[in-house]
Amino acid sequence: MKALLLIDIQNDFVPGGRLAVPDGDAIIPLVNALQPLFDLVVASQDWHPVGHESFASSHAGHEPFNHIELHGLPQTLWPDHCVQETTGTDLHPALDTRRIEAIFRKGMALEIDSYSAFYDNGHRKSTGLADYLRGRGATEVYLVGLAGDFCVYFSALDAQAEGFATHFITDATRPISAEGFQAALADMQARGIQVLESQALLVP
């Protein structure tokens, strides 16, 4: 059974948002067209408290996109984004939400970031998504959303590690960095994650 994971399709990750992914909103019509092809649709939502330690504003003397070590883990510092109960956290208004059966939130612990929808960046705490998917009978996971070189990529790695046949739909995502995205695609292919275009699904 095939599940589609909609990763972080939130206002702050599209142009005009606080951590805008270039052209991020361009994926939404395609994501909406893909949804009916799946047995199960699940979404994730980046959901940070005020003062989250992934924010550059939490570290005096640092700026967004600086790299630091945060409690033993490498951390890119971000502009404040997806702050709980702001409109930036909302799923994008053009996203068809009617088939989304569950939404998994992540990034709530102040001291650790969480790119993957399955685990925090230290793999310390699970969101429960893998057990949810197994409980629903999912064996295959397809990933779309934002950003392709961060949360979609790390979610794909964890999906595969959890034993799901994992597929990454390249034209239903956009990256923060083009170079980072090329490296992510190469890494996924090397690990046996299927990297495909939506056309392979939409035109049988």
Active site residue 82: no
Strand partners for 119:
126
37/79 with CB nearer ligand VGL? 79
Binding mask 102-141 for Zn ion (x = CB under 5 A): -----x----------------------------------
The rounded distance, in Å, linking the Cα atoms of 108 and 106 is 6
Active site residue 106: yes
Restricted to residues 142-171, the positions that interact with ligand VGL (CB under 6 A) are 146-147, 150-151
The rounded distance, in Å, linking the Cα atoms of 158 and 164 is 9
Min dist. Cβ of residue 116 to Zn ion (A): 11
Residue from 106, 113, 120, 149 carrying the catalytic annotation: 106
46 near Zn ion, rule: CB under 5 A: yes
Bridge-based pairing of strands 67-70 and 73-76 is antiparallel
Restricted to residues 11-70, the positions that interact with ligand VGL (CB under 6 A) are 13, 46
Cα distances from 62 to residues 82, 167, 176, 200, in angstroms, run 19, 36, 19, 44
Evaluate whether 172 touches 198 at the Cβ level (below 8 Å).
yes
Amino acid 182 reads Q
The rounded distance, in Å, linking the Cα atoms of 92 and 99 is 15
12 near Zn ion, rule: CB under 5 A: no
Residue from 80, 82, 151, 158 carrying the catalytic annotation: 151
Interface with ligand VGL (CB under 6 A): 8, 13, 46, 78, 115, 146-147, 150-151
Residues with catalytic function: 8, 106, 151
